Each structure stands twice: as C-alpha cells, then as structure tokens.
Amino acid sequence: MTKQVRIVAISGSSRVGSTNTQLLRSIAKMAPKNVDIEILSGLEKLPFYSEDLESHNLPTEIVALREKVSAADAVLIATPEYNYSYTGLVKNTIDWLSRPYAKGVLAGKPVAITGASLGAFGTVRAQAHLRQVLHGTNSKVVNRPEVYVGSAHEKFGEDDNFLDASGRAMLLELLDNLIDLAADVNGSEMLAS
C-alpha cells in the first residue's frame, strides 16, 4: 500500500505576495495525491537562535517546529536570493533545527531546495550557499535537477500555476527525486504510485 508522504516546506520569505511561497504553493498543487506539502508559517516570528534559550528556556514554538520537521518524511526549501546568498529567515530556521548538537532533526533528513528571485540568475548563488549549509547539518540533499526560477514576477498565472512548461517539468522532477530519496531513507512503501 502506498503511504501518505508528508513534506514540510520552508519559504525563505515572509513577504505578503512572496514569489517563493507562491512557488511552494505551485509545487504543492502539482504533487501526486499521496503527497502532502505543508508550508510552515510563522517562521519570521521565531527568536534568533541563542544557546541560552536552547539550554535554559526553549520556546514552545521551537519545540513544535522540531517535532513537525522530525515527523515529516522530507523537507522542501524555496528561498529568495538576498545579497548573493539565501535569507536570514532560512538560516535562523536551520540553526534551530540543527540543534541540540548531534540530535538535530535535519541530520539524515531528505531535503530539496529551489528558489525564486527577480533577477536573471534565479537564486543560483543563494542555493549554492544553502547546499553548503545543509552539508553542515548532515542532511540528505537532492542534487538534481537544480531549479532556479529567475524573473519570478513573470512566472505565475492564476491560482499559483507555474506558467513555463519546462520549468514545471523540472519542479515535478525535483519533487519526484525528493520522494524517491525519502523512500530510500524511510522505507520503500511510501513511493508514490
């Protein structure tokens, strides 16, 4: 029997009208029926990572975030490019998920990354930095395809539909590869039918 696949998605932008959140909604719409993609909300309200909070007063929202990511089969991140890198919102979220040391919920977790930006390079530099950081968290990162959504303001139609057919195919391939990787890590019964 095919298991329901649970993916949590992190948008690197909390902006109303964010093209990265829109990209995640668009991928969620394309997903097979047995794949649930939940876009995490409220990440911009998390405190900055602090070892003092970690050891003495761990906020309840961090406990809930860690539990949610721990329970998920995989993680999908879409980030804008800010000053040639990924955003502080993504970094802070990853820092919280990477601790406690050696017990962070991102260790061994299947992760796929993508991103949208207004510029022509479409988050190439942001995703390269993010890949390096996910090496640090010992996550299992999907290598291909690399999907860079440039000129993001022109890419979406009504109802978050991704307009470009070849881009849509690449996003679907990225999602398929994430599901395959999650099946390798978590057990083959979850493979999409």
Ligand X SMILES: Cc1cc2nc3c(=O)[nH]c(=O)nc-3n(C[C@H](O)[C@H](O)[C@H](O)COP(=O)(O)O)c2cc1C
Cβ at position 104, least distance to ligand X in Å: 26
* Binding piece for ligand X, criterion CB under 6 A, among 17-25, 31-39, 137-145, 184-192: 17-25
Q: Cβ closer to ligand X: 73 or 81? A: 81
Site string for ligand X, 115-134 (x = CB under 6 A): -xxxx-x-------------
Q: Cβ closer to ligand X: 63 or 118? A: 118
| 83 binds ligand X, rule: CB under 6 A | yes
Tokens matching residue 54: 């970690």
Site string for ligand X, 61-80 (x = CB under 6 A): -------------------x
For 5, the enclosing helix (H) or strand (E) is strand 5-11
Cα 93 from chain centroid (whole Å): 11
Q: CA-to-CA distance for 17 and 21, rounded, in angstroms?
A: 8
| 148 binds ligand X, rule: CB under 6 A | no
* Whether 166 contacts 173, CB under 8 Å: no
Q: Cβ closer to ligand X: 1 or 17? A: 17
Tokens matching residue 139: 């996550």
Residue with tokens 């993010």: 130
Q: Cβ closer to ligand X: 79 or 139? A: 79
| 20 binds ligand X, rule: CB under 6 A | yes
Residue 6 β-bridge partners: 36
Question: Long-range contacts made by residues 92-95, C-beta under 8 angstroms, separation at least 24?
Answer: 92/43, 92/46, 92/48, 92/49, 93/10, 93/40, 93/43, 93/46, 93/65, 94/133, 94/134, 94/137, 95/49
Amino acid letter, residue 11: S
Phi and psi, residue 9, nearest 5°: -120, 140
Q: Cβ closer to ligand X: 104 or 115? A: 115
Cβ at position 121, least distance to ligand X in Å: 6
Cβ at position 38, least distance to ligand X in Å: 18
Residues of this chain that interact with ligand X (CB under 6 A) are 13, 15, 18-20, 80-84, 116-119, 121, 152
